[in-house]
Amino acid sequence: MQLENKSIIVTGGASGIGGAVSRELIARGAKVVAVDINEDAGQALVNECGDSAAFLNGDVSDPETAKKAVALAAEKFGKLDGLVNNAHASRQKPFLELEKEDWELSFGTGFWATAQFMKAAYEELKKTKGAIVNYGSGSAMSGQTTQGAYASAKEAIRGLSRVVANEWAEDGIRVNVISPLALTEGVEKWSKAQPEAYEKVKNQIPMGRYGDPAKDIAPVVAFLLSDDARYISGQTVMADGGTQKLY
Ligand SMILES: NC(=O)c1ccc[n+]([C@@H]2O[C@H](COP(=O)([O-])OP(=O)(O)OC[C@H]3O[C@@H](n4cnc5c(N)ncnc54)[C@H](O)[C@@H]3O)[C@@H](O)[C@H]2O)c1
């Protein structure tokens, strides 16, 4: 029960990696506010986890959603110890085909939502000396084709995470980034749209397989939120089967 009674917000926390993260945090004793646009998956989480989970149906790109999520965590669980900025929607297109809406979708749900949620959570996290986990991507680090809008937002998230980790260190708030690789519905959709790119990525994974959201990714997020990671901040942790090495 590494996270006993910790109150944690997980954006995109109803399904995919976020759904696995919500369940893992609860299994380790936490209470979770899952923020998602998928009402059915959100209700399924609450049905499964009972009082340990609260669901907020909201779009993370709307700044009001972040404020509502923090208020819900404080009201329902009395405090806020952690924030997981997992949600991120995007469209894959060659750079020259990307339109304003594509940039807005990726930066709105990825970078801007991460910034808004961190800002909204600050006062509560300061009280608990809490922790934040943001999300990067190996495809952004390697410059994978067709990921212009997504990769730019992901690297902006990493840049901001390092700055905020430094600025809020004196408040006792830690900020880290996880860069996962896992087979989710989102990745399955992408694999059907771009089977060659999917196979190429798979062939580059030294461990030879995509990660499992529950077994390979969620425990790493739980660790970063826990007191076991109390001396780790401003880092990017690669949970990708050894694909990318950061030096
Ligand atoms: N799956 C991978 O291999 C991989 C690789 C690198 C990075 N990532 C990152 O991990 C995170 C999770 O990825 P995933 O594959 O589980 O994604 P996914 O698309 O499978 O699931 C994302 C979840 O976010 C929700 N969501 C989407 N748009 C939203 C919005 N506007 N507001 C609120 N909720 C919204 C969805 O309903 C879903 O529950 C993302 O930040 C993604 O970029 C994933």
CA–CA dist 101, 149 (Å, integer): 10
- Residue 211 is predicted with a pLDDT of 97
Residues tagged active-site: 150
Does residue 109 have its Cβ closer than 6 Å to ligand 1? Answer: yes
Ligand 1 binding pocket includes 155 (Cβ within 6 Å): no
| pLDDT at site 201 | 85
Q: Which residue's entry shows tokens 């997981």?
A: 84
**Ligand 1 atom closest to 154 (CA):** 43
Q: Does pTM surpass 0.95?
A: yes
102-114 pLDDT tens trace = 999 999 999 999 9
- Ligand 1: atom nearest CA of 136 is 7
Beta strand spans in the chain (E) = 7-11, 31-36, 53-57, 82-85, 131-135, 174-180, 236-239
186 in ligand 1 pocket by Cβ < 6 Å?
Answer: yes
Question: Are 193 and 147 a contacting pair, CB within 8 Å?
Answer: no
Order the strands of the 53-57 sheet from edge to edge. Answer: 53-57, 31-36, 7-11, 82-85, 131-135, 174-180, 236-239
User: Per DSSP, what are the bridge partners of residue 83?
Assistant: 9, 132
The number of C-alpha atoms within 13 Å of 203 and in the hemisphere containing its C-beta is 6
Instruction: For 109-147, give the DSSP string.
Output: IIIIHHHHHHHHHHHHHHHHT-EEEEE--HHHHHT-TTB
Q: What is the pLDDT of residue 186?
A: 84
Query: Which structure tokens are listed for 212?
Result: 């499992």
Question: CA 197 to CA 206: how far, in whole Å?
Answer: 16
Q: What residues contact 56, with CB distance under 8 A and at least 6 apart? A: 33, 34, 35, 36, 42, 65, 68, 69, 72
Name the residue ranges covered by the structural domains of the chain: 7-237
Tens place of pLDDT per residue across the chain (247 aa): 799 999 999 999 999 999 999 999 999 999 999 999 999 999 999 999 999 999 999 999 999 999 999 999 999 999 999 999 999 999 999 999 999 999 999 999 999 999 999 999 999 999 999 999 999 999 999 999 999 999 999 999 999 999 999 999 999 999 999 999 999 988 898 889 889 988 988 999 999 999 999 999 999 999 999 999 999 999 999 999 999 999 8
What pLDDT is attached to residue 124? Answer: 98
What is the per-residue pLDDT for 218? 98
Is 140 close to ligand 1, i.e. is its CB under 6 Å away? Answer: no
Residues facing 53 on adjacent strands: 32
Instruction: Give the bridge partners for 180, in sequence order.
Output: 239
Give residue 212's pLDDT: 97
The class level of CATH for 7-237 reads alpha beta
Q: What is the pLDDT of residue 74?
A: 98
Task: Specify whether the CB–CB gap between 146 and 90 falls below 8 A.
Answer: no
DSSP classification of residue 209: S
User: Which pLDDT value is given to residue 1?
Assistant: 78
Angle (CA) 70 43 9, round 5° = 25
End-to-end distance of the chain based on CA atoms, in angstroms? 33
Q: Which two three-digit tokens encode residue 126? A: 């300061």
Residue nearest to atom 5 of ligand 1 (CA): 181
Tokens at 46, concatenated: 């609450």
CA distance 59 to 173: 25
